[in-house]
């Protein structure tokens, strides 16, 4: 999450499908188990609660323009995140996240579970929309602009 001084934090993110055959060959570290749900989704804002390992976060994301959007994320107590999910959310996304540092960037690869099993999406956060980065061989089709691959849309399949 980036942002200019005295401005809202901005997330600039590109998303790619992962090539399963190449992914199988990758040496992986232990993943972080992620559970996330959405308290509210609309065209202008999403409110997400996420449990990532033993940590929890409440995140507000603005409308996506290109590959950028405002993002505000706050750590919250784990027990409160669990209660929010239980009380306010009908569906959850379960996934395992693997992180890889390549050059100066970190790739986050989400391997989805349950009803989304088989879906693997890689994301990279950038400092600006035109920033150059290296793509590992397991990166496939870009889906950054396809809303069908936004987690707030994918959760409808859960």
Catalytic residues: 38
Place of tokens 């188990």: 33
For 50, residues 6+ apart whose C-beta sits below 8 A from its C-beta are 34, 35, 36, 56, 57, 59, 81
Cβ atoms of 99 and 28 within 8 Å: the answer is: no
Which SS3 state, helix, strand or coil, does residue 92 take? coil
Phi, psi of 145 (to 5 degrees): -95, 5
């Amino acid at each position: 999450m980036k942002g200019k001084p005295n401005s809202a934090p901005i997330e600039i993110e590109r998303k790619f499908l992962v090539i399963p055959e190449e992914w199988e060959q990758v040496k992986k570290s232990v993943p972080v188990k992620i559970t996330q749900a959405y308290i509210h989704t609309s065209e202008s804002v999403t409110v997400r609660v996420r449990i990532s390992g033993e940590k929890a976060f409440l995140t507000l994301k603005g409308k996506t323009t290109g590959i950028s959007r405002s993002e505000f994320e706050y750590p919250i107590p784990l027990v409160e995140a669990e209660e929010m999910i239980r009380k306010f959310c009908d569906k959850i996304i379960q996934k395992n996240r693997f992180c890889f540092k390549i050059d100066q960037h970190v790739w986050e690869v989400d391997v989805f579970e349950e009803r989304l099993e088989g879906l693997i999406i890689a994301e990279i956060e950038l400092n600006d929309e035109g920033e150059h980065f290296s793509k590992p061989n397991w990166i496939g089709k870009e889906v950054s602009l396809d809303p069908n691959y936004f987690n707030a849309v994918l959760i409808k399949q859960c």
